[in-house]
Amino acid sequence: MKEKYEMKCAGIKEILSQYIDGTLEDRERVAVEEHISMCEKCREELDSLRALVQELGALEPVKAPSDFLEKIHERLAQPSFPKRLFRKLFVPFPIKIPLQLAAAVAAAFLVFSIVTLQREEREILQMSKMSPSKEGTKKAQFDPVAPAPKGEQQHPGGFPQDPMKKRSHETREVVELVLLVERAGRSGLNERAVSLKAAPATEEDVREERTDSTPRRKAMIRKAPSRSAMEEESFVEGVGITSPQASRESGLKDETGIPSSPVENLSSALENLVVQNKGNILRVAYDSASGRLDSVLAEIPGQEYEAFLKKLAHLAPLRVLSPAPSDKPREKVRVRIRLLSSHEGHP
């Protein structure tokens, strides 16, 4: 009986708070009233809670300061959140310096990464955009006989060596050269009658072209016309390879008697140069869109290599993108000569 009575007390105490607030249903309210009329303990509990609630309700509210609205106006007129955040992060200087250092280091790392990874692409772009007035400067910069800048590696022929290239060179075994040539204009191609004799491409060459898929190479390599097309249209007996467009242009211009362009001379000279240096042309690639001569893959005897490069540099401004073969003497050096126009993008 006592246990039952105590349980009832526990149940009543749970709802005393709601009883004070008047939120109980009639049945519960009556049960509470009946219980407290008999139970002194619960009545005391109710009285103390009711006194507390009354006291809390009677407390004077804390009022906002008199200048509350003015302060809000002042704060609304202050700089916006991003500006305040910037100040919070960087001011005062002596305390926030680690953040600034971190930011500076991160920025430096980012710049270094971009410069290192995209160096080649940017060089090619600069060269292609270079105006004739700047060409002299660039030529001097790429002059194979000029001494390399301090700290820069130099291969036996005097060309600047890029350490990044060394690794790729070891696997590719092809020296990448870029020759800056003058074109007549954006569409007026003068490199007709390019008389370059190409030896049939070996399987090794084809494999090399297929496996090499670095972004730089992808950007540089423009597809040559298909082998069959080259055989049908580009081979001219006793002359060598001529692009289809170049052939047409050549015919027209020959008829009108327009003198041959510097590029034409250069192309012929290129062939002569390879032959003079006891080398042979392995492959000739054309730009599929414009039909321009794009690159020439040739093989030069090791002992002739340096002389070949020097003569090549006399033809037109030359840039060696990948280094010469390592110090150990080689029987033959394979070079890919790419022709880039100094007028591209400048009609």
What are the residues binding another protein (CB under 8 A)? 14-18, 21, 23, 48-49, 51-53, 55-57, 59-66, 68-69, 71-72, 75-76
Q: Which is nearer to another protein, 23 or 141 (CB)?
A: 23
Nearest Cα to Cα of residue 289 among 249, 252, 244, 259: 244
Q: Which is nearer to another protein, 31 or 269 (CB)?
A: 31
Per DSSP (E only), the strands in the chain are 153-154, 160-161, 174-181, 235-236, 240-241, 280-286, 293-301, 318-320, 332-341
Nearest Cα to Cα of residue 306 among 126, 155, 187: 155
Taking the complex as a whole, the smallest distance from the CB of residue 25 to another protein amounts, in Å, to 13
Rounded Cα gap, residues 25 and 228, in angstroms:
98
Largest CA distance in the chain: 130
Q: Which is nearer to another protein, 57 or 92 (CB)?
A: 57
Taking the complex as a whole, the smallest distance from the CB of residue 7 to another protein amounts, in Å, to 18
Q: How far is CA 203 from CA 44, 108, 206, in A?
A: 105, 45, 5
Q: Which is nearer to another protein, 52 or 110 (CB)?
A: 52
Q: Which is nearer to another protein, 75 or 167 (CB)?
A: 75
DSSP-assigned letter for residue 322: S
Q: Which is nearer to another protein, 55 or 255 (CB)?
A: 55
- In the chain the first and final C-alpha atoms are separated, in Å, by 110
Taking the complex as a whole, the smallest distance from the CB of residue 137 to another protein amounts, in Å, to 57
Q: Write the single-letter amino acid at 132.
A: P
Rounded Cα gap, residues 181 and 315, in angstroms:
9
Q: Which is nearer to another protein, 58 or 289 (CB)?
A: 58
Taking the complex as a whole, the smallest distance from the CB of residue 47 to another protein amounts, in Å, to 10
Taking the complex as a whole, the smallest distance from the CB of residue 213 to another protein amounts, in Å, to 52
What is the SS3 assignment for 144?
Answer: coil
CA 7 and chain centroid, separation: 76
Long-range contacts of 196-199 (CB under 8 A, 24+ apart): 196/240, 196/241, 196/267, 196/270, 196/271, 196/281, 196/284, 196/293, 196/296, 197/240, 197/241, 197/271, 197/280, 197/281, 198/240, 198/241, 198/281, 198/282, 198/283, 198/284, 199/280, 199/281, 199/282, 199/283
Phi and psi angles of residue 286, each rounded to the nearest 5 degrees, phi first: -120, 155
Taking the complex as a whole, the smallest distance from the CB of residue 30 to another protein amounts, in Å, to 19
Rounded Cα gap, residues 213 and 145, in angstroms:
32
Taking the complex as a whole, the smallest distance from the CB of residue 61 to another protein amounts, in Å, to 4
Taking the complex as a whole, the smallest distance from the CB of residue 50 to another protein amounts, in Å, to 10
Q: Which is nearer to another protein, 51 or 99 (CB)?
A: 51
Q: Which is nearer to another protein, 32 or 193 (CB)?
A: 32
Taking the complex as a whole, the smallest distance from the CB of residue 17 to another protein amounts, in Å, to 4
